[in-house]
Structure 1
Amino acid sequence: MTINGVALDELIDAPAGLRSVVAAETRIGDVRGQEGFYHYRQYSAIELASACSFEEVWFLLFEGRLPDRAELAEFTDEVARSRSLPTELLPVLPAIAVSGRPMVGLRTALSMLAAARDLQPVWDSEPATRRADALLICAVAPTILAALHRLHRGLEPVAPRADLSTAGNWLYMLTGESPRPQATRAIEQYLIATIDHGFNPSTFTARVVASTGADVASGVIAAIGAFSGPLHGGAPDRALDGLDEIGSADRIDGWVSEKVAKGDRVMGFGHAVYRTADPRSVLLRAIGIELGGELVEFATTVERRVTEVLAELKPGRDLYTNVEFYAGVVMELCGIPRSMFTPTFATSRVVGWTANILEQADTAKVIRPSARYVGPRAPQPLPPRV
């Protein structure tokens, strides 16, 4: 007997959630959870966030190396030319924006853009064409998301400016106001720190779609669907909501105890990979402290006490803040509306998705695992027909 053409005695049972299963080889980056370390190519992601611009790291993921000054200038110009809102989407964006769910709107808009521009399957296209498609999607996604946000509120979209960076344009297109340099750099560091993070659910989804030879947009659209779930990219606003629920330092212990007693997840704490402090959270905490204010002071107090209470209630489990906890704090301090926290995350992660799609496109192997059937024994006779 076989399953998908594989003999039963040759099947390999994978752990739940495919934990620790190696599904592919990659040169893009890796996460070393036991060490609290992750990297893009051969460089520490946190060091890149501390020293580089978003465009430099974007180039690194696409090209495999950091750019020199001339290459960076050329790449930055290329991105700026691709940022404008596509004219094909102008008539339909208001209807897409009605729902007030920007990630859903982005999926729809990218699907329409792919059809209008006739993006070709990666199986049939040249590497240069795939890269151009990937860069277009990465450059225009923030513009679409910001436009959907403003249209839903009865405001006109704000066109991007060629003189602003990816992070600066994101803040400018959301608010219509020239961004503060400190806020721009804070968001830029956040974007760099979240470009890629191993074979997370959305990245794996993008690679599965790319393995079929589909076009770049299809892989990104599928990744957005996975990313929109609250257990993946959709948690920064929920973590900040938790701070609102707590309200004051004297309520921390009771709030955590109630969550644990109910079996509810404490948003912003714990991670599927890290067994030590999430390095992204460490970076964002430092950025938040530099921005300053009562929110940061309260967040650090909550972090310290929640970690202590969780250690008491869940002995043997090391639960630290993850990227969502301080991501929400930093975005709030920079003036980003909570409804746009997850979209902000997506404006960086789309670069990681497309880098993985481009890498997957260089292989010719379809990702096709098996499943073990556990339903009623088959075949059985059909019941009598009335």
Structure 2
Amino acid sequence: MSSTVIPPQPGQPESGLITAPPGLAGVAVTDTSIGEVRGLEGFYHYRQYSAVELAEQRTVEDVWHLLFEGELPTADQRAEFMALVVPLRQLPPEVRAALPAIARSSSSPLDGLRTALSLAGSAQHLRPLWDLEEPTRRLDALRICAQVPTLLTALHRLAHGEQPVEPRDDLPYAANYLYMLTGEEPDPMRARAIERYLVSTIDHGFNASTFTARVIASTGADVAACVVGAIGALSGPLHGGAPSRALESLDAIGTPDRIEPWVRARIEAGDRIMGFGHPVYRTEDPRSRMLRATAEEFGGDLVEFAVEVEACVLALLAELKPGRDLHTNVEFYAGVVMELCGLPREMFTPTFASSRVIGWCAHVLEQARERKIIRPGARYAGPPPPRPLPPLA
């Protein structure tokens, strides 16, 4: 859609505003060296590397280093990076003491995370980005990224009457996350499957939560404030809530003989089929391909059923909505993989947040270097001003 320049209006000092399409679709709001999504190609990347190849071959820590430092680490750099971030997993005493009350009063771990992370930022005296040099900003961002998994798993366990599990210094990011969640060291297959999911979701273009984090960062606010705002955006069902909903669709279908009538009825009624369609991709979501392969490594009835449902949905979408380019997205097989790895469904979106915080913080650091507030205009569309005030009743 082409932009439209609004001509100057009488009595209106601001002029020459450009009207963007709804949702800013197709609008580039800044330059970034962190990555991009090429929706027509079905490809996305972190820095100069394919994000899917990174998920298949590298660890969370490697990609974290890539986004923060601009390069994949050598063996020595990896060890140095681990030595830096592992101690940052620990929570301040003030936050530990408040977590039981936060867990009791929150409807979900993601809701509780907003409160807990805001407290963590205050307890650690995080200062506005505007007032900090780059090394201090980076350390604040590393600390927040390291603490989010500790907060999420503690809130989940407390909500279920269990004590939090302390992070282990000898476990890498993904295995430590599962350990803090369940209290048991995960087997390598499950830890690696979750790691692939975490790496594949660390960043994904200028989505709503990432853009929110950058807007807040542009004001010079502290890192915790930026991430709390991003979590608020992620909590919306149109953004981060689909993995469990896609799995609920499989539950509702139930058996293979119900697949075709259930799917057809939903499509004909105009309902959205969770796990299909994407605002950017016009091909199959590359994350979906990778996670389907991961699920198939486990095998079993759930995976076979999901593959059968996927094939039916795609066939019926092609029949009933021709030309719409609706394909499987990341949420469909993400739910299957997390279910196979034993994650509770209420932790699906929080698990997404536990990795996306790394991408948010990389964008926060990049935005802070620009030192310019994001302040778009808006075209007024109400009754024409000025009007005389009505008399007092």
TM-score bracket relative to the smaller structure: over 0.9
Kindly state the Cα deviation for residue 251 of structure 1 after the two structures are TM-superposed.
Answer: 1.6
- CA–CA distance in 1 between the matches of 2:43 and 2:291? 15
SS in 2 for 1:91: helix
| Structure 2 residue 116 is the aligned partner of structure 1 residue 135 | no
Q: What's 2:14 paired with?
A: 6
Kindly state the Cα deviation for residue 272 of structure 1 after the two structures are TM-superposed.
Answer: 0.4
Q: Pairwise mapping of residues 177-326 of structure 1 onto structure 2 (< 5 A)? A: 177-326=184-333
Kindly state the Cα deviation for residue 299 of structure 1 after the two structures are TM-superposed.
Answer: 0.4
Q: Pairwise mapping of residues 1-386 of structure 1 onto structure 2 (< 5 A)? A: 1=8, 6-7=14-15, 10-98=16-104, 99-386=106-393
- Does the CA contact (< 8 Å) of 1:186 and 1:287 recur in 2? yes
**Residue-pair matches, total:** 384
Matched letter for residue 325 of structure 1:
F
- CA–CA distance in 1 between the matches of 2:271 and 2:127? 44
The normalised TM-score by structure 1 is: 0.97
Matched letter for residue 230 of structure 1:
P
CA 1:88–1:307 in 2, change beyond 3 Å: closer, same or farther? same
Q: Give the unaligned 5+ runs of structure 1.
A: none
Q: What's 2:5 paired with?
A: none
- Decide which moves more: 246-255 or 341-350: 246-255
Deviation above 3 Å: which 4+ runs of structure 1? Answer: 1-5
Kindly state the Cα deviation for residue 78 of structure 1 after the two structures are TM-superposed.
Answer: 1.4
- CA–CA distance in 2 between the matches of 1:367 and 1:250? 53
Matched letter for residue 73 of structure 2:
P
**1:211-234 Cα deviation digits (max 9, x unpaired):** 111111111010000011111011
| Residue identity (%) | 63
- Does the CA contact (< 8 Å) of 2:92 and 2:124 recur in 1? no
Matched letter for residue 38 of structure 1:
Y
Q: What's 2:4 paired with?
A: none
Matched letter for residue 249 of structure 1:
P
- Does the CA contact (< 8 Å) of 1:332 and 1:338 recur in 2? yes
CA 1:216–1:5 in 2, change beyond 3 Å: closer, same or farther? farther
Kindly state the Cα deviation for residue 260 of structure 1 after the two structures are TM-superposed.
Answer: 2.4
**1:312-364 Cα deviation digits (max 9, x unpaired):** 11111121110100000000000000000000000110000000000000002
- Does the CA contact (< 8 Å) of 1:4 and 1:370 recur in 2? no
- Does the CA contact (< 8 Å) of 2:92 and 2:123 recur in 1? no
SS in 1 for 2:129: coil
Q: Give the unaligned 5+ runs of structure 2.
A: 1-7
Matched letter for residue 196 of structure 2:
Q
- CA–CA distance in 1 between the matches of 2:208 and 2:21? 15
- Does the CA contact (< 8 Å) of 1:100 and 1:152 recur in 2? no
- CA–CA distance in 1 between the matches of 2:179 and 2:363? 29
CA 1:242–1:196 in 2, change beyond 3 Å: closer, same or farther? same
Kindly state the Cα deviation for residue 373 of structure 1 after the two structures are TM-superposed.
Answer: 1.3
**1:3-23 Cα deviation digits (max 9, x unpaired):** 99531xx12111111001010
Matched letter for residue 57 of structure 1:
V
- Does the CA contact (< 8 Å) of 2:137 and 2:365 recur in 1? yes
Kindly state the Cα deviation for residue 256 of structure 1 after the two structures are TM-superposed.
Answer: 2.0
SS in 2 for 1:162: coil
- CA–CA distance in 2 between the matches of 1:383 and 1:226? 40
- Does the CA contact (< 8 Å) of 1:100 and 1:149 recur in 2? no
